[in-house]
Amino acid sequence: MRIGVLTAGGDCPGLNAVIRSVVHRAVAQYDDEVIGFEDGYAGLLDSHYRTLDLNAVSGILARGGTILGSSRLERDRLREACENASDMIHEFGIDALIPIGGEGTLTAARMLSDAGLPVVGVPKTIDNDISSTDRTFGFDTAVGVATEAMDRLKTTAESHQRVMVVEVMGRHAGWIALESGMAAGAHGICLPERAFDPADLVSMVEERFARGKRFAVICVAEGAHPVDGSMDYGHGEIDKFGHERFQGIGTALAYELERRLGKEAKPVILGHVQRGGVPTAYDRVLATRFGWHAVEAAHRGEFGRMTSLRGTDIVMVPLAQAVTELKTVPKDRMEEAESVF
């Protein structure tokens, strides 16, 4: 079999572990040939690829980023790719294509699959917002980074009697804010799923200081919004990939709290730090299992599906099911988090 693999969309710790696992299983078990397309779907469209043998993936299990490079694809180019899907199969002679990516990548994978390409998807995103899988790799690493950052910020905040507003990633789903906020014992957590009122945060900080506490940490997802009219903050414009350009809620909220409280409030934007560096052991294992199962699915001819974690099992689910809706934080998970701060 000839298998093509690519990584697309925002990178994520664990991508290299999937690539390595695909190559190990395909080459060592089945004597397949694996080719890696460079920079996501762009490599597929522009015929930029290289052979991946066992040596090519040696030593990459713990490495962050992706050895293949990644990029986002504009919708028009994707449509063009779908129109030429059968030409591509003949040009590269691939029997299976394994795209590894988030919502945008899997939507593209579904379109290519519908156009006739033999596709097996592998979900990835630090945001953990893909429905049909309990977890995505990269999320555990991002939560660990954000938790450690807040642990560190607490000690310096306390020394200076400050409020720290820590902005983490999460455009539509607040999983990173929820879990890192809980793990670090943040005193306020703001998620995209529910508009927050800055007045509640002001009360919380005042109550803490009134009982002798000397600091507060608030964890806010980048996609969180204040209740309409509660503070000066607008919606951003939409970029060419359909993503909202955020206005910087961490900075705006820190400014607002400082103004209302008369205490120093500092914004800390964690940004891409959450996506870089070595994956945790959990993410390496999940990524490795996804790669292994993707190759098995390809050999069974199970196309148009993606790997998924259900409990502790890896199962195959239809791509169509995976990309219909985002997995957002449900109300009961928010209530659990609220009960601890």
What gap in Å lies between CA 313 and CA 221, rounded to an integer?
A: 30
Q: x/- binding map, residues 274-313, to ligand F6P, per CB under 6 A? A: -x--------------------------------------
Residue pair 124/14 in contact by the 8 Å Cβ criterion: yes
73 annotated as ligand-binding: yes
266 is in an annotated binding site: yes
Which of 39, 127, 140, 283 is the catalytic position?
127
Distance separating alpha carbons of residues 130 and 196, to the nearest angstrom:
24
222 is in an annotated binding site: yes
Q: Are 123 and 133 in contact (CB under 8 A)?
A: yes
Q: Does 172 bind ligand F6P (CB under 6 A)?
A: no
Separation of alpha carbons 303 and 296, rounded Å: 11
| Contact criterion met (CB below 8 Å) for 186 and 217 | yes
103 labeled binding residue: yes
Residue 122: strand pairing partners: 100
Task: Among 171, 172, 263, 333, indicate the residue that binds ligand F6P (CB under 6 A).
Answer: 171
CB of 239 to ligand F6P, least distance (A): 9
Q: Which of 118, 121, 170, 188 binds ligand F6P (CB under 6 A)?
A: 170
Choose one: 145-153, 167-175, 188-196, 297-305; the region binding ligand F6P (CB under 6 A): 167-175
Note the residue count of the chain. Answer: 341
End-to-end distance of the chain based on CA atoms, in angstroms?
A: 54
| Binding status of residue 10 toward ligand F6P by CB under 6 A | yes
The amino acid at 235: H
- Tell me if 80 is assigned to a ligand binding site: no
Q: Are 230 and 197 in contact (CB under 8 A)?
A: yes
75 is in an annotated binding site: no
Is residue 40 a contact residue for ligand F6P (CB under 6 A)? no
Query: In terms of CB distance, is 25 or 275 closer to ligand F6P?
Result: 275
Cβ neighbours of 104 (radius 10 Å): 22
Which member of 32, 38, 39, 127 binds ligand F6P (CB under 6 A)? 127
Sole binder of ligand F6P in the list 105, 107, 125, 133 (CB under 6 A): 125
Residue number with CB closer to ligand F6P (10 or 267): 10
Q: Is 312 annotated as a binding residue?
A: no
Q: Which of residues 190-229 bind ligand F6P (CB under 6 A)?
A: 222
Q: Tell me, letter by letter, the H, E, C secondary structure of 177-236.
A: HHHHHHHHCCCEEECCCCCECHHHHHHHHHHHHHCCCCCEEEEEECCCCECCCCCCCCCC
- Residue 13 sits in the site that holds ligand F6P (CB under 6 A): no
Least gap, CB of 243 to ligand F6P (angstroms)? 7
Give the number of residues in contact with ligand F6P, rule: CB under 6 A: 10
Q: Has 127 been annotated as catalytic? A: yes
Cβ burial, residue 159 (10 Å; 0-12/13-18/19+): exposed
Identify the H or E element spanning 3.
strand 2-7
Beta strand pairing status for 120-123 and 163-168?
A: unpaired
Please give the order of strands across the beta sheet that includes 188-190.
188-190, 216-221, 163-168, 265-269
Residue of the chain from 23, 61, 126, 294 that contacts ligand F6P (CB under 6 A): 126
Using CB under 6 A, which of 169, 252, 286, 309 touches ligand F6P?
Answer: 169
What is the contact surface with ligand F6P in residues (CB under 6 A)?
Answer: 10, 102, 125-127, 169-171, 222, 275
Binding-site members are 10, 72-73, 102-105, 125-127, 162, 169-171, 222, 266, 272-275
Annotated binding site for substrate: 125-127, 162, 169-171, 222, 266, 272-275
Residues marked as catalytic: 127
Residue positions in the annotated binding site for ATP? 10, 72-73, 102-105
